[in-house]
Amino acid sequence: MHQPEEIIKDRYRILKPLGKGGIATTYAAHDLDMGQEVAIKALSLRRLKDWKSLELFEREGRVLSQLNHPGIPNYLDYFQLDTDDDRRFYIVQEIAPGKSLQDWVESGWHPTELEVRDLAQQLLEILVYLHQISPPVIHRDIKPPNIIRQSEGKILLIDFGAVKDTYRHTMTSGSTLVGTYGYMAPEQFRGQAEPATDLYGLGATLLFLLTHKTPADFPEKRLKIDFRPSVNISPELGDWLERLLEPLVEDRFISAVEALAVLQSKKAISKVIKERVPERSANHHQLAGSRVFLKITPGKLEVKIPFLGWKLQSLSLIVIITILNVYLVAAVWLAAIQSLAILSFLFLLLGLEIKLLGNFLLNQFGRVSLEFDETQFYLTWNFLGIQRKIQGNIHHISSVQVFPTWLSIQNYPIITCALQMRFKTYRFGSGLTQTEREWIAMEIAAFLGKPHLIKR
């Protein structure tokens, strides 16, 4: 939007672009009134693809104006300018001198364990400050490009474009998926964020510094990043880092305060866990707004999907299939008079249609119960007195998936969860929202230690 030497608001002279993000461009500029260099983040209304981007930008400005910490560049100004064909919004901050951690690594920097500890301590002190604000400020995009390191080792956290200033769980339909793949905690894929979400981003960033590999490039074991063979660090730091990278938010440190205390005291992780208040024997997971019941106890996982109500679109598909079955019955009667071969074929087709309708009714409207223990799984569907029950060995499950079926209603494919085996696929949950399906698939996969795939 702007060229070097251009003057904005009769005050800020553009020097050079610093970077371009998903919705805005940041420039280095000279403040003619104050005689200092600043960073200006600019957003063009004309170039917006959706209004959510403007909401995020305004939220960033509002949150920055409330912050005061030596590890965060000071907020200076927020304004908008109108042109003949556009409206532009601007956030002005003190410029952060130094290079991003991404640039440090690309220039060949290999930090020592002591340097990694110092960097982690500084970042945790910033997160302690952010998370203790009421309501907590959650950055949601902790990653190497958003962390500036000065030559003497001081750390600054920048780019609050993904910031979340409300501490609550939300459904994806009412939130925006923000973050960077590889550095995003699993709950962010469900549109959720809480203070421990930033701890995952911190752990992923430290792993990048230690290995020069993005976290997404590491293999996984039971959905956890398997980084131990790739790092040469003390066991205590390895345990601490592993705690930051736990895929389940309740298995991470409960706060930045706790993570910082453990890092500074060098206490063993096992001792820290014993010092906590004992957890309930049953761990009940709940997604905001969902009626699905999920319960995890030692060695057992239960998922119960209730009857979710009649849906007009789904009923229209039932009518179509029923009409088709009526035509097939008529065709069978006519074929009985004419040809035995045609009759056999139509009977086969009618059987497939009836099975299709039955499975559709069970998946779309039935109550579904899933139970997993250490060796077996039980999957039960119930609908209007009709019951189907499957029992199998969990070792035969290759993955847990979410994918569209070949059926569609008004050009929208019916999407389902599935336990994928070598030769069989057991589907369930087509009446759920996409957020609920992805949540259930991830929880089951995490319990089983199997990969989970989401196809769109």
Q: Is 190 left (phi over 0), alpha (psi -120 to 50) or beta?
A: alpha
Identify the band that residue 50 occupies on the pLDDT scale cut at 50, 70 and 90: low
Provide φ and ψ at 427, rounded to 5°. Answer: -100, 150
Task: Check residues 84 and 40 and name the one with the higher pLDDT.
Answer: 40
For residue 174, the model assigns a pLDDT of: 35
For residue 110, the model assigns a pLDDT of: 94
For residue 406, the model assigns a pLDDT of: 61
Average pLDDT over residues 379-397: 85
For residue 443, the model assigns a pLDDT of: 82
For residue 88, the model assigns a pLDDT of: 87
Q: Does the structure show a pLDDT above 50 at 176?
A: no
For residue 329, the model assigns a pLDDT of: 57
| Distance (Å, whole) CA 285 – CA 263 | 29
Identify the band that residue 290 occupies on the pLDDT scale cut at 50, 70 and 90: confident
Q: Does the structure show a pLDDT above 50 at 144?
A: yes
- Could you read off the pLDDT of 97-141 as tens digits, one per residue? 889 999 999 999 999 999 999 999 999 999 998 888 877 888 888
84 is a catalytic site residue? no
For residue 354, the model assigns a pLDDT of: 54
Indicate which residue of 141, 198, 226, 239 is catalytic. 141
Average pLDDT over residues 275-298: 62
pTM (global) more than 0.85: no
For residue 451, the model assigns a pLDDT of: 76
Domain boundaries, the chain: 7-94, 99-279, 293-307+366-454
For residue 448, the model assigns a pLDDT of: 83
Task: Check residues 18 and 104 and name the one with the higher pLDDT.
Answer: 104
Task: Check residues 116 and 448 and name the one with the higher pLDDT.
Answer: 116
Average pLDDT over residues 25-45: 89
Task: Verify cis geometry, omega within 30 degrees of 0, for the bond prior to 135.
Answer: yes
| Mean per-residue pLDDT of the chain | 78
| Distance (Å, whole) CA 58 – CA 23 | 12
For residue 341, the model assigns a pLDDT of: 59
Among the residue ranges 104-108, 163-167, 359-363, 420-424, the one predicted with the least confidence is 163-167
- Could you read off the pLDDT of 249-265 as tens digits, one per residue? 888 998 888 899 888 87
- Could you read off the pLDDT of 338-370 as tens digits, one per residue? 555 555 655 565 555 555 555 555 565 668 899
Residue pair 357/325 in contact by the 8 Å Cβ criterion: yes
Residue pair 88/12 in contact by the 8 Å Cβ criterion: no
Looking at domain 99-279, does it have CATH number 1.10.3720.10? no
Contacts of 203 (CB under 8 A, 6+ apart): 241, 243, 244, 245
CATH architecture of 293-307+366-454: Roll (2.30)
Average pLDDT over residues 281-293: 63
For residue 455, the model assigns a pLDDT of: 67
SS (H, E, C) the chain: CCCCCCEECCCEEEEEEEEECCCCEEEEEEECCCCEEEEEEEEECCCCCCHHHHHHHHHHHHHHCCCCCCCCCCEEEEEEEECCCCEEEEEEEECCCCEEHHHHHHCCCCCCHHHHHHHHHHHHHHHHHHHCCCCCCECCCCCHHHEEECCCCCEEECCCCCCECCCCCCCHHHCCCCCCCCCCCHHHHHCCCCHHHHHHHHHHHHHHHHHCCCHHHCCEECCEECCHHHCCCCHHHHHHHHHHCCCCHHHCCCCHHHHHHHHHHCCCHHHHHHHCCCCCCCEEECCCCCCCEEEEECCEEEEEECCCCCCHHHHHHHHHHHHHHHHHHHHHHHHHHHCHHHHHHHHHHHHHHHHHHHHHHHHHHCEEEEEECCCEEEEEEEECCEEEEEEEEHHHEEEEEEEEEEEEECCEEEEEEEEEECCCEEEECCCCCHHHHHHHHHHHHHHHCCCEEECC
Looking at domain 7-94, does it have CATH number 3.30.70.1140? no
Q: Rg for the chain (alpha carbons), in Å?
A: 27
Tell me the CA end-to-end span of the chain in Å, nearest whole number.
35
CA-wise closest residue to 117 among 215, 199, 240: 240
Among the residue ranges 30-34, 49-53, 170-174, 339-343, the one predicted with the least confidence is 170-174
Average pLDDT over residues 139-160: 89
For residue 152, the model assigns a pLDDT of: 87
Record the tokens describing residue 10, joined without a space: 């009769």
* Cross-strand partners of 94: 38
Task: Check residues 51 and 74 and name the one with the higher pLDDT.
Answer: 74
Contacts of 428 (CB under 8 A, 6+ apart): 305, 363, 368, 370, 379, 381, 416, 417, 418
Task: Check residues 242 and 284 and name the one with the higher pLDDT.
Answer: 242
For residue 177, the model assigns a pLDDT of: 46
